């Protein structure tokens, strides 16, 4: 268990929050003989929400409290100063999103319906947590494979709701706002239109979604999935247009199959707009956010042989161009 003495500290230079403290290492063997996320688990986790939809099954995907939650839901963040520094308690939510009832059906081999239900659950959880004014941002991410820091064997993603916006998202929000201020267009929409026109880095287009290798990749085979019509918030998109989640699920499955033809390990993260209930005065991006931000999924594969370092003098170093990566991903043999 993560001890409660962990706290959030803000780096005064980059303005990013870190979670830190002296975590007591858990010496008990990590391997459990049972799975706490399987439907008949003898030690089930605390249930938050179920989603049904698969005929004959009481649930298809579900959300539970993380068994060693980094963030805790009770109380106030009580942000306070420490000389020039800022700190606060790790108030928030930390959930495990069980993607499937099956211990072996993952986002790359589950049915269309299962993946669609999982995506809808993710949208519902984000919408629900954004109703809590304390939370500025809800993240959904997945780490798969031992070199990516996978935590559980059962097909799962994780969710955190935090009282701050994580650093990478904050950078994106600021950059998207600046681009919008000068061009009055969404930078992501402009990227999509150029990529579709050039066709150099497009992995696949499916209905309203596109999968591309980004122009300036941080790691080889980095892939993004984006909606082709503008929308800042994933949950609003997913819940208002539920039929489209089927296409997104299929494209996600096919893209993960392509990546798995190269490597099994990857990080996946969903980037959506922050909580607009939380109108922070010192961050001026809230007014145009619906126009300037555009939700997307980022997948960062981890290549075992090249795991040493992807940075060279603090600059991302990706020894494979996106134009070459996309050819290999397009040609990868996939099932469906
Ligand atoms: Zn299981
Ligand atoms: Zn856009
Ligand atoms: Zn992003």
Q: How far, in Å, is the centroid of ligand 2 from the Cα of 231?
A: 6
Mean pLDDT of the chain: 90
- The ligand placed nearest to the CA atom of residue 42 is 1
Dig out the tokens for 107 from the structure: 């986002």
Nearest ligand (C-alpha, residue 103): 1
pLDDT at site 194: 98
Q: Which ligand has the minimum distance to the alpha carbon of residue 188?
A: 2
The ligand with the least distance to the CA atom of 169 is 3
Q: How far is the CA of 226 from the centre of ligand 2 (A)?
A: 9
Looking at the CA of 179, name the nearest ligand.
2
Instruction: Looking at the CA of 99, name the nearest ligand.
Output: 1
pLDDT score of 77: 76
Q: Which ligand is nearest to the CA of 154?
A: 1
Instruction: In whole angstroms, give the CA distance from residue 22 to residue 73.
Output: 21
Rg of the Cα atoms in the chain:
20
Gap from CA of 171 to ligand 2 centroid (Å): 16
Alpha carbon of 184 to ligand 2 centroid (Å)? 11
Can you say whether residue 207 is alpha, beta or left, with left for phi > 0 and alpha for psi between -120 and 50 degrees?
left
227 alpha carbon to ligand 2 midpoint, in Å?
8
CB atoms within 10 A of CB 336: 9
User: What are the start-end ranges of the E strands in the chain?
Assistant: 7-10, 17-20, 47-51, 61-65, 80-82, 85-88, 92-98, 137-144, 156-162, 202-206, 209-212, 223-227, 265-271, 296-302, 311-312, 315-316
Give the ligand at the shortest distance from the Cα of 36: 1
Task: Say whether 180 sits in a helix, a strand or coil.
Answer: helix
For residue 296, which ligand has an atom nearest its CA?
3
Query: Quick one: how many helices (H) and strands (E) in the chain?
Result: 7, 16
Can you name the residues that pair with 8 across neighbouring β-strands?
19, 88
Q: How far apart are the CA of 172 and the centre of ligand 3, in A?
A: 7
User: What is the C-alpha to C-alpha distance for residues 29 and 220, in angstroms, rounded to an integer?
Assistant: 34
332 Cα–ligand 3 center, Å: 25
Given this model, what pLDDT does residue 2 score? 43
**What is the whole-number distance in angstroms between the Cα of residue 226 and the centre of ligand 3?**
10
Whose atoms come closest to the Cα of 214: which ligand?
Answer: 3
Identify the CA nearest to 75 among candidates 84, 59, 94, 88: 88
CA of 16 to the centre of ligand 2 (A): 25
Q: Say how far apart CA 161 and CA 134 lie, in whole Å.
A: 9
Q: Distance from the CA of 215 to the center of ligand 2, in angstroms?
A: 17
- Give the integer Cα–Cα distance in Å for 226 and 291: 15
Q: What is the pLDDT of residue 283?
A: 53
pLDDT, tens digit (0-9, with 9 covering 90-100), for 272-286: 999 987 655 555 556
pLDDT tens column, 216-255: 999 999 999 999 999 999 999 999 997 999 999 999 999 9
Q: How far is the CA of 64 from the centre of ligand 3 (A)?
A: 25
The closest ligand to the CA of 170 turns out to be 3
From the CB of residue 221, how many other CB atoms can be counted at a distance below 10 Å? 26
Please state whether beta strands 311-312 and 315-316 pair in parallel, antiparallel, or not at all (unpaired). Answer: antiparallel
Report the DSSP beta bridge partners of residue 142: 268
User: CB count, 10 Å around CB of 138?
Assistant: 27
Closest of 233, 266, 269, 312 to residue 158, by C-alpha: 269
> What was the pLDDT predicted at 1?
44
What is the rounded CA–CA span in Å between residue 334 and residue 326? 14
Which residues in the chain show pLDDT less than 50?
1-3
pTM (predicted TM-score):
0.93
């Amino acid at each position: 268990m993560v001890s409660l003495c962990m706290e959030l500290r803000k780096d005064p230079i980059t303005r990013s929050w870190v979670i830190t403290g002296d975590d007591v290492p858990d010496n008990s063997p990590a391997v459990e003989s049972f799975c706490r996320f399987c439907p008949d688990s003898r030690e089930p986790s605390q249930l938050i929400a179920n989603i049904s939809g698969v005929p004959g099954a009481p649930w298809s995907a579900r959300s539970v409290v993380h068994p060693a939650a980094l963030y805790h839901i009770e109380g106030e963040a009580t942000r306070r100063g420490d000389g020039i520094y800022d700190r606060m308690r790790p108030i928030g939510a930390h959930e495990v999103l069980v993607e499937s009832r099956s211990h072996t059906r993952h986002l790359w081999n589950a049915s269309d319906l299962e993946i669609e239900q999982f995506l809808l659950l993710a949208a519902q959880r984000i919408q629900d947590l954004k109703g809590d004014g304390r939370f500025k941002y809800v993240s959904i991410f997945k780490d798969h494979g031992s070199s990516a820091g996978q935590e559980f064997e059962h097909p799962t993603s994780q969710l955190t709701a935090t009282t701050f916006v994580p650093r990478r998202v904050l950078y994106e929000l600021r950059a998207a706002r600046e681009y919008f201020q000068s061009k009055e267009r969404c930078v992501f929409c402009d990227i999509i239109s150029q990529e579709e026109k050039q066709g150099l880095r497009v992995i696949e287009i499916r209905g309203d979604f596109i999968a591309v290798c980004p122009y300036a990749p941080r790691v080889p085979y980095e892939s993004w999935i984006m909606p082709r019509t503008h929308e800042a918030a994933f949950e609003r998109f997913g819940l208002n247009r539920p039929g489209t989640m089927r296409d997104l699920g299929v494209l996600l499955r096919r893209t993960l199959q392509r990546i798995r033809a190269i490597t099994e390990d990857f990080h996946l993260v969903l980037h959506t707009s922050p909580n607009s209930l939380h109108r922070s005065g010192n961050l001026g991006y809230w007014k145009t956010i619906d126009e300037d931000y555009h939700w997307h999924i980022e997948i960062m594969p981890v290549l075992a042989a090249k795991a040493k370092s992807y940075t060279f003098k603090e600059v991302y170093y990706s020894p494979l161009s996106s134009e070459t990566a996309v050819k290999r991903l397009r040609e990868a043999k996939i099932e469906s």
